[in-house]
Amino acid sequence: MLIGHQPKPFLLAVEGLTVSFDGFKAVNDLSFYVEENEIRVIIGPNGAGKTTVLDLICGKTRATSGKIEFRGKELTKLKENQIVKAGVGRKFQTPSIYDDLTVFENLEISFPRGRTVFGALTFTRDATVRDRVHEVAEMIFLKDRLDMSAALLSHGQKQWLEIGMLLIQDPDLLMLDEPVAGMSVSERAKTAELLNRIIKDRSVLVIEHDMKFVEDIAHKVTVLHQGQILSEGTMEKVKNDPKVIEVYLGH
Amino acid sequence: MNANRFTNRSELIGILVLAAFLVVILPLCLDVFRLNLVAKYLTYAFVALGLVICWGYGGILSLGQGVFFGLGGYCMAMFLKLEASSVENTKIQSTPGIPDFMDWNQITALPFFWKPFHSLTFTIAAVILVPGIFALIIGAAMFKRRVGGTYFAIITQAVAAILTILIVGQQGYTGGINGMTDLRTLKGWDIRPDHAKIVLYFFEVGCLFICIFIAQFIRHSKLGRILVAMRDQEDRVRFSGYSVANFKIFAFCVAAILSAIGGAMFALQVGFMSPSFVGIVPSIEMVIYTAVGGRLSILGAVYGTLLVNFAKTSLSESFPELWLFGLGGLFIAVVLAFPNGLAGIWQDHVQPRIDRLISSRKPKAESAWTDNSVADGAPAE
């Protein structure tokens, strides 16, 4: 055990992770490690289990067996809100924002204070909250739309808003599920710029199909296929792996 | 951004209009009999208020608010019944000093859970705590297991049915199907004559406004916004670090306590309490009041309750057999045509005109988005 001991602990260590739905193993004995400040992209064909992996880490789906260790904490035993408190933020594939609230209120809800029932009742919108919301709104290109109902935003803006809601939480691990899907070319470029800015000082786990985008941002790529790792390494290495070309990149 | 988190100007005007209506206009225009009817209707307004928070904002449809209305009402009725059953009032019974229905059911001593209801302080605490704790238990059992939506509504309905059966079945302890009748005095003060009814009416209106302010406070707090957010995107709230179940339990308990206060008022106003206010039918009627008033509007709930009940009384006086069809038709009409009820009509058609009138005099400064989006406490007359 001691021989393979890592001097620098990983931020996230997933080991032997398995989840089965009525016997079908969506994720099968999966192990991977994410370092501090690393940007890891997960790619793979449809049904490979990519989204399920994120669901498992954030607690949306419960693992059948295996370990997910984050900063030394075992996540599989924690509740969803405790996982968020531990420092994991997750963006969903379709923009999940609150249509009936304004952009400001959307961001404010994610501000990490007053998360208990009593805390929420006594929460006050002080200068710290207001400054932070404005700061994040500027980053996500929605500075002028703070008082607007979130329902009126375009698809791309809704995606940015949700990314903003995660930023305000200031997570150590940010998980993004297809952040540029359905975006126009110019929105895509802006999003890449946004991501490049926000990934500083934190680790990011991204699922993405857009290979150009992946190449732009990834430090390391993990290719999933049928719930297992097919290949892992730099983009260069993965791109030239014959197995990957066969199941994913080839067509 | 609105600096005043408690209430904004248009809402304050709405509250003042309602206050003028209930405190000045109605008492001046109505005779004591009609005013007492209004007082009876207003007891349901407490329930409707609770449903606005729980159903309108939180999206938790409860078809069992009659349970809490009943629990509050029975707690109050037990106190009043004990006072009415003094030894000298009941000396013709085989066991004097216990409620009449117990005597009829061959019960010879006051059951243990009745005894604390000799105290008014205990009774007032029980009116709030019994339904509150009951709602906490149901809420925790359901929401922690992620039971929601239709399933939750059906379970609350089952609870309403169970409680009715229990009350009817345990005749000796509860007065059975007849309920607790012949309530006379509150701490020696006769609640039956006209002047007492008028005093009770104003007391009730006072309580209603306190509850309206509490509801306003919740709505304008971050908790109110989290409830709305939960209704839209439960998972997003959960993965923003909140325990969704706790917030739902809170909303459900608040609704239960408000209903119970209404129930206690009912026992005082009407002078009796019976299982016919506990079951499925009254619970659904309470949801209809809220829907008609506008489930997103705190003040709308009050107007909706008054309107439907006025219609109920006048229609069932002239066409008793038609009323239920009318009520059903009304519910369908509201759901299909006016999903936000009277408050929605007010907000979409009346308010904009008033705003235009005002803004033609001075430029508009308030941020309209904030007010419209969460949906509002505009009055709906």
Q: Where residue A37 sits, what CATH number does that domain have?
A: 3.40.50.300
Say yes or no for a CB contact (<8 Å) between B232 and A98: yes
Over residues B334-357, the mean pLDDT reads 86
Is residue A2, in this structure, part of any structural domain at all? Answer: no
CB contact under 8 A, B222 and A165: no
Of all residues in chain B, the percent with pLDDT exceeding 90 is: 70
Residues of chain B with C-beta less than 8 angstroms from the C-beta of A110: 240-241
Is there a contact between B256 and B50 (Cβ–Cβ < 8 Å)? yes
Tell me the pLDDT band of B364, cut-offs 50, 70 and 90: very low
pLDDT of B363 reads 53
Note whether B86 and B283 are within 8 A (CB).
Answer: no
For residues A148 and A102, the answer to whether their CB atoms sit within 8 Å is yes
Total number of domains constituting chain A: 1
B233 vs A85, A96, A122: nearest CB: A96
Q: Are strands A12-21 and A220-225 parallel, antiparallel or unpaired?
A: unpaired
Given A79, A106, A123, which is nearest B222 (Cβ)? A123
Q: Is there a contact between A130 and A103 (Cβ–Cβ < 8 Å)?
A: no
Rounded to a whole number of angstroms, the distance from the CA of A105 to the nearest CA of chain B is 8
Helix B298-318 to helix B9-20 angle (10° resolution) is 30
Whether B62 and B252 have beta carbons less than 8 Å apart is answered as yes
Q: Min CA distance, B247 vs chain A (Å)? A: 6
Write the DSSP string, B88-118. TTTTTSSSTTS-HHHHHTT--S--GGGGGGG
A126 lies within 8 A of chain B by CB: no
* DSSP state for residue B179 in the 8-state scheme: -
- Residue A1, domain member (yes or no): no
Which of B136, B145, B222 is the best mutation test for A, with the most CBs of A within 10 A? B222
User: pLDDT for A112-141, tens place per residue?
Assistant: 999 999 999 999 999 999 999 999 999 999
Q: Which of B226, B238, B372 is closest, CB to CB, to A120?
A: B226
A contacts of B370 (beta carbons < 8 Å): 102, 105, 147
Q: What is the pTM of this model?
A: 0.90
Domain range enclosing A71: 12-249
Taking an 8 Å cut-off on Cβ atoms, the answer to whether A90 and B246 are in contact is no
Q: Residue A39 forms beta bridges with which residues?
A: A204
Per-residue pLDDT band for B254 (boundaries 50, 70, 90) equals very high
User: Per residue in A155-184, pLDDT tens?
Assistant: 999 999 999 999 999 999 999 998 888 888
Separation of alpha carbons B156 and B255, rounded Å: 13
CB contact under 8 A, A117 and B241: no
ipTM of the shown complex: 0.89
Pairing mode, strands A12-21 and A24-34 = antiparallel
Please name the helix (run of DSSP H) or strand (run of DSSP E) that holds residue B319, with its range, or none.
none
User: Which of A98, A149, A176 is the best residue to mutate to test the B interface, defined by the most B CB atoms within 10 Å of its own CB?
Assistant: A98
Q: Which chain B residues touch A if contact means CB-CB below 8 Å?
A: 1, 5, 218, 221-223, 225-226, 228-229, 231-233, 235-243, 246-247, 250, 367, 369-370, 372-375
- CB of A58 within 8 Å of a chain B CB? The answer is yes
pLDDT digits (tens, 9 = 90+) for B290-313: 999 999 999 999 999 999 999 888
